[in-house]
Each structure stands twice: as C-alpha cells, then as structure tokens.
Amino acid sequence: MAESTSRKTGGRSDRRRRGGVGLAILAAGLIPILAACEPTLVQEIGIVLSIDSPSLGRVDSFELLNDDGEVIVFDTSELRFRPEFPAPHLAEHQVLGDRIVVTYRVEDGRLMVTQLDDA
C-alpha cells in the first residue's frame, strides 16, 4: 500500500513540475511580447539650435545639433516640463550653447521627448 501511495504522490509531483515548466515556457513567451509593447527610449546629446515656442512657458518642438553634426527635430508637445528643467531653461541652453541630454521615444515617425536634462 505504501508503494501505491508513493506512486500517486510522485505522479502529482510530476504533474506539478510539468505545470511549472509549462508556466515558465508561457512566461518566457510573453516577456518579448510585453517588451515589444514598451517604447524604447533613446538619448541624444547636443546643443539647441532653434525652438518652436508659440507662447511663454510652452515649447512644441526644437532642433538639436548632436555630437555627430546631425540636426534632429524633437517633439515636446506632450512633454511635462519638470521644475528641474522648466520650458524657459531650454532657451537658456540655446543662448549659452550649453549641451543638453534629450531622452525620447519614436512614435509614428516623430521623436517624442520624455525628459530633458543638463549635459
């Protein structure tokens, strides 16, 4: 009797192990799918060439000259400027020629800024 009980327990244990493996395979399959849903963030460093600012405290876009000599247009229409880097601070960087770090994502061909920082 002890033998048959041990087999039953072993059977349940094997099923649990296989179930765990199945869940691990399912989870491994979902990770790339979930990662694909997250936008990839990219950074550029350079100097501000021009700013599209329709009103005080609002910036819709700006041009950046990166270290490779490329001029890149960034969209800031959805950016919430932080107290550490308010919208007028971007103009200060333009006037002084100080470099900035732009963190952005590509969305429908537009470079959408998610954060601006002093370089």
Find the length of the chain.
119
Token digits of residue 50: 């021009």
Per-residue model confidence (pLDDT) at position 57? 80
Per-residue model confidence (pLDDT) at position 24? 52
Same domain, 56 and 26: no
CA distances (Å), 101 to each of 7, 53, 70, 113, in order?
63, 19, 15, 10
Phi, psi (5° rounding) for residue 76? -115, 15
CA distance linking residue 46 with residue 118, whole number of Å: 10
What is the residue range of 77's domain?
42-118
CATH of the domain at 53: 2.40.50.140
Same domain, 24 and 66: no
pTM exceeds 0.75, yes or no: no
34: Cα within 13 Å, side-chain hemisphere: 6
As a 3-state breakdown, the chain gives helix, strand, coil percent values, each rounded to 5, of 40, 35, 25
Positions in the chain whose pLDDT score sits under 70 = 1-38
CA distance linking residue 98 with residue 89, whole number of Å: 11
Mapping DSSP to helix (H, G, I), strand (E, B) and coil, where does residue 12 land? helix
Same domain, 63 and 107: yes
Q: For 58, which DSSP code?
A: B
